[in-house]
């Protein structure tokens, strides 16, 4: 995302978070909601400008883990702590990133397939609607054309000289 689309959040010394774009204070749940909606966020210290995004996102994960006992697996948490050297952290981050990318691709594929199944399931229904509605609508169109033609012919008859003579005889 371009830098202009990044949601800037400032963290003040009292630990309050301020959404600079919306001009209001937010909490960790609000930050989590923005991330879940696909927004790219950046959290900075209001005084120093230091980037605190990792710290705040980690706090979001911790808060989620408190509410959901089925949060991150204990073994993964242990490995995160053990991987304190740079190479270990980089490998673990690469692995997690790859796993999430694969998960996202599978999820997108499943959604795409569900959409295809839905349209295939509705296809026979739409076909039947068109078959049933098609002739009726074409009959209505044909009937409308016939009515127009009859009105046109009646107008011609009214204008014809033979019709005028017949009218004069009946009136006179």
pLDDT of residue 3: 47
pLDDT of residue 21: 86
pLDDT of residue 2: 47
pLDDT of residue 26: 95
Structural tokens at position 4? 């202009």
Which residue ranges in the chain fall short of pLDDT 70? 1-4, 69-71, 84, 127-139, 162-172
């Amino acid at each position: 995302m371009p830098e202009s689309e990044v949601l800037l959040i400032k963290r003040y010394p009292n630990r309050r978070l301020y959404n600079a774009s919306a001009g209001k204070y937010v909490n960790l749940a609000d930050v989590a909601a923005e991330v879940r909606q696909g927004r790219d966020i950046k959290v900075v210290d209001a005084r120093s400008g230091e980037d605190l995004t990792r710290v705040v996102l980690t706090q979001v994960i911790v808060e989620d883990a408190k509410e959901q006992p089925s949060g991150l697996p204990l073994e993964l948490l242990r490995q995160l702590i053990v991987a304190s050297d740079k190479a270990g952290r980089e490998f673990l981050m690469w692995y997690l990133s790859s796993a999430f990318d694969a998960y996202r691709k599978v999820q997108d594929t499943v959604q795409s397939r569900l959409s295809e199944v839905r349209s295939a399931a509705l296809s026979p229904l739409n076909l039947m609607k068109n078959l049933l509605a098609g002739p009726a609508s074409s009959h209505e169109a044909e009937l409308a054309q016939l009515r127009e033609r009859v009105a046109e012919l009646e107008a011609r008859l009214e204008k014809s000289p033979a019709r005028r003579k017949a009218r004069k005889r009946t009136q006179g």
